[in-house]
Structure 1
Amino acid sequence: MTILVLNAGSSSLKWKLFELEGEKEIASGLIEGIGEERSLFHLYHGAKELELTQTTPDHQSAFSMLFDSFEKEQIINIKQDLDIIGHRVVHGGERFYKPTIINEKILGDLRTLHLLAPLHNPVNILGIEITLREAPQIPNVAVFDTAFHHSIPEYAFRYALPTELYKREHIRRYGFHGTSHRFVAEETAKTLGRPLKALNLITLHLGNGASACAVRQGESVDTSMGFTPLEGLIMGTRSGDIDPAIVTYLMDRLNLNTAQINDLLNRESGLKGICNENDLRTIVQRTNGGDKEARLALEMFAYRIKKYIGSYVAVLGKVDAIVFTGGIGEHAALIRTLVLEGLDTAFGIMLDPLLNRHESGETEAIHAKNSRIGVYVVPTDEELEIARECGRLISEK
């Protein structure tokens, strides 16, 4: 079964081509910097690597460029050689929480969700529209970033707002990064040699976007992101948790409109707001050079994650493992150290400093032998998880 997975971001288009039997990755690539002055086109196919610098004005151009490269580089004929095309769709609202085969009716329903994820859902849906037009005979499957969190109980997903706002406007915690949290939970279970349903985990997806998830017996029971991806941990440019009264205060004091306050909280806050930089590698370099603002940014970032770990230990009671993933979670040993520092006394969580420095690109245990809770670094692969879910759906039909 040959599956093409498309993962469109606000300024990027990531893709992978799989032969699902054996989970073999045939080819992959990334177009980044869409809509900017300069974009990069990466393609990996066997031993071949291709990288081009160009201008990609919009996602329509990016998809056209991608499909042209399939033909030019003789990767695949999408009209003849594919069994499924899988799409990451960020927001499924309350209705969509399982992988769904797309038809025109479903597509129309998905368009109504654009307001819930205005940076991502429109480009996700654009990808579906284009592939339906290019290869109408191939099943297109949407896999939703919110789906894994559909198991969160009502007392955890509801906000303490008037009930009518939940019933009429569907204001609730949805959670995001669900595909990643599910994937690393499954991989951790394999590493431990135990069924996922027998495990309680805290999974930490740490990148420019960041979220924590409490997993009880294989199901998400709480997560840090909420109605939108803005809530929760401090991120590259997002504030994470703040007093909501700050919003109205700033709007009144600085005469900001809703678009400006939205831009402030989503694009100018987080690490960038603290030290004018959202690339963690640069922040670490500045910290090593004695930069106090950069050091503060690292401390605030790690402290917020530590608080969520403590609260999720309380939620889960027994925790089998803490799992780090995402660009920062997988590669920033310093962050892992800062996050878990001091948790030995309360929870018996202890890192092995030597193991924590390893970066093999594989799943690794990094805890000390006498740690009461395991600590693992598990590389995420959202596209592979989407391919798995597409395969399961089609096999059931």
Structure 2
Amino acid sequence: MKFTILALNIGSTSLKTAVFEDEKELVREQITYDPDKINRLKSYNDWLRFHRDGISGLLRKHETRLKKVDMVVSRGALTRPIESGPYLINEAMVEDLRSSNYGWHPSNVGPQIALEIAGKFGCRAIIYDSPSTDEMDELARVSGLKGIERKAAHHVLNQKAAAKKAARKLGRDYNNTCFVVAHLGGGITVSAHRRGKIIDGTHGLSEGPFTPQRTGSLPLLDIIRLCFSTTASAEEVEKQLLSRGGVFSYLGTYDMKAVEKDARDGDANAHFILRAMAYQISKDIGSMATSLKGKADAVVLTGNLSRSKILVNEIKDKVGFLAPVLVLPGEEELQALANGALAALRGKEKIKIY
């Protein structure tokens, strides 16, 4: 029996969907949104309506392939800390995401949309390898201030998919390897993978290298002064740091293809900012390598920004002494979601209850 799986991946600037028959991808769609348009979305319900409309259009377009759906699988979001693998989407999960109890990201609306679609087809909806997967070592949780604990929020889905692919390239089992994996995309996270678990990593919203639109880690005292020297609300400061920081704050654009082209065409400022981004990524790769006691089998670069020759060459130059650098460009998130759903449908992985 073949299973039909609908996979949804809502990101900060895009919507990606695909239909699979078992492992085989039948159709894929991607909508990339104008940042000015999505910056006008203010609330969970705004984002919900926005992406619900987008997905409804895609479902109508491919309704002939969707006579039946056996499972809907959504990218996970900012829930309470959970284990890796499949989780049934239920009202408790949706409520936590709606209330942003554990943080806000546009992906928070994905599970609710998946649950609504599953209701129409009379099937189950799950998330798989959520970014809130928490496998961190206890030592890694200590922040330096009692009452504040470091939390797990990485690109778990794509990182684990890339790490498993890297292990296969090395002729190894992911569960018996050690990797430092850097997901380089609209968000950037760098994590230490030890024998199948992510034991430490930069938080995708509040730590790590700057990204096309996020600041990453910042000098603490300067942030304190910023917060107390402005009339902006906490929400406005947060938006500045998470939506209008990073490359955008320096170059006025989120478009990294344009930044790369400008750098190649002789724009010294664009080239400098790319080098600075590579420098910060490299420092975090080095930091995560120490979590593995320097015994990484490889450094793995993945995500769409790993297509940037300038960025990748700068990183290789700085971290090549740690371990071989494997570049696995792009994202395999939709395939990873489908593979996870298929494993659940076949009973190879037990679906957990949130």
Q: Which residue of 2 aligns with 1:356?
A: none
Mapped to 1, the partners of 2:196 and 2:6 lie a distance apart of 27
For residue 282 of structure 1, report the CA deviation from its aligned partner: 2.0
Q: Which residue of 2 aligns with 1:374?
A: 324
Q: Which residue of 1 aligns with 2:42?
A: none
Deviations 1:367-397 (A, max 9, x none): xxxxxx3221224311111122222223336
Mapped to 1, the partners of 2:185 and 2:138 lie a distance apart of 28
Q: Which residue of 1 aligns with 2:334?
A: 383
- Answer whether contact 2:87 2:127 (CA < 8 A) is retained: yes
For residue 27 of structure 1, report the CA deviation from its aligned partner: 0.9
**Structure 1 204/10 Cα, relative in aligned 2: closer, same or farther at 3 Å?**
closer
For residue 291 of structure 1, report the CA deviation from its aligned partner: 2.7
For residue 34 of structure 1, report the CA deviation from its aligned partner: 7.6
Q: Which residue of 1 aligns with 2:301?
A: 324
Identity %: 24
- Answer whether contact 1:34 1:62 (CA < 8 A) is retained: no
For residue 336 of structure 1, report the CA deviation from its aligned partner: 1.1
Mapped to 2, the partners of 1:127 and 1:12 lie a distance apart of 15
For residue 144 of structure 1, report the CA deviation from its aligned partner: 4.6
SS of the residue aligned with 1:235?
Answer: coil
Mapped to 2, the partners of 1:202 and 1:320 lie a distance apart of 8
- Answer whether contact 1:204 1:211 (CA < 8 A) is retained: yes
Deviations 1:161-192 (A, max 9, x none): 334x5xxxxx5312221001100011111111
Counterpart mapping for 1:218-297 below 5 A: 218-225=196-203, 229-297=205-273
Deviations 1:142-163 (A, max 9, x none): 2253254x21112113423334
2:159 counterpart of 1:181: yes
Mean alpha-carbon deviation: is it higher for 152-161 or for 89-98?
89-98
Q: Which residue of 2 aligns with 1:138?
A: 123
For residue 106 of structure 1, report the CA deviation from its aligned partner: 4.5
Mapped to 1, the partners of 2:325 and 2:290 lie a distance apart of 17
SS of the residue aligned with 1:378?
Answer: strand
Aligned pair count reads 335
Mean alpha-carbon deviation: is it higher for 204-213 or for 282-291?
282-291
Mapped to 2, the partners of 1:57 and 1:3 lie a distance apart of 23
Mapped to 2, the partners of 1:264 and 1:111 lie a distance apart of 22
Mapped to 2, the partners of 1:110 and 1:256 lie a distance apart of 25
- Answer whether contact 2:77 2:108 (CA < 8 A) is retained: no
For residue 70 of structure 1, report the CA deviation from its aligned partner: 2.0
2:58 counterpart of 1:101: no
Q: Which residue of 1 aligns with 2:143?
A: 159
Q: Which residue of 2 aligns with 1:67?
A: 59
Q: Which residue of 1 aligns with 2:6?
A: 4
For residue 339 of structure 1, report the CA deviation from its aligned partner: 1.1
For residue 203 of structure 1, report the CA deviation from its aligned partner: 1.0
The TM-score, its normalising length taken from structure 2, stands at: 0.86
Mapped to 2, the partners of 1:311 and 1:204 lie a distance apart of 12
**Structure 1 57/221 Cα, relative in aligned 2: closer, same or farther at 3 Å?**
closer
For residue 140 of structure 1, report the CA deviation from its aligned partner: 0.9
**Structure 1 289/269 Cα, relative in aligned 2: closer, same or farther at 3 Å?**
same
Mapped to 2, the partners of 1:245 and 1:265 lie a distance apart of 15
Deviations 1:110-155 (A, max 9, x none): 544x2434232442133134214422x211112253254x211121
Q: Which residue of 2 aligns with 1:58?
A: 50
- Answer whether contact 2:96 2:102 (CA < 8 A) is retained: no
Mapped to 2, the partners of 1:195 and 1:88 lie a distance apart of 25
Mapped to 1, the partners of 2:135 and 2:274 lie a distance apart of 32
Counterpart selection for 1:127 from 103, 110, 113: 113
Mapped to 1, the partners of 2:120 and 2:13 lie a distance apart of 22
Gaps in structure 1 of 5+ consecutive residues: 39-55, 166-170, 350-372
Mapped to 1, the partners of 2:8 and 2:299 lie a distance apart of 29
Q: Which residue of 2 aligns with 1:354?
A: none
SS of the residue aligned with 2:346?
Answer: helix
SS of the residue aligned with 2:229?
Answer: helix
Between Structure 1 and Structure 2, whose CA radius of gyration is higher?
1
Gaps in structure 2 of 5+ consecutive residues: 39-47
- Answer whether contact 2:178 2:296 (CA < 8 A) is retained: yes
The TM-score, its normalising length taken from structure 1, stands at: 0.77
**Structure 1 33/277 Cα, relative in aligned 2: closer, same or farther at 3 Å?**
closer
* Alignment-mate amino acid for residue 61 of structure 1: D
Q: Which residue of 2 aligns with 1:366?
A: none
Deviations 1:262-295 (A, max 9, x none): 1211122111112223322222332234433212
For residue 224 of structure 1, report the CA deviation from its aligned partner: 1.3
Q: Which residue of 2 aligns with 1:50?
A: none
**Structure 1 291/12 Cα, relative in aligned 2: closer, same or farther at 3 Å?**
closer
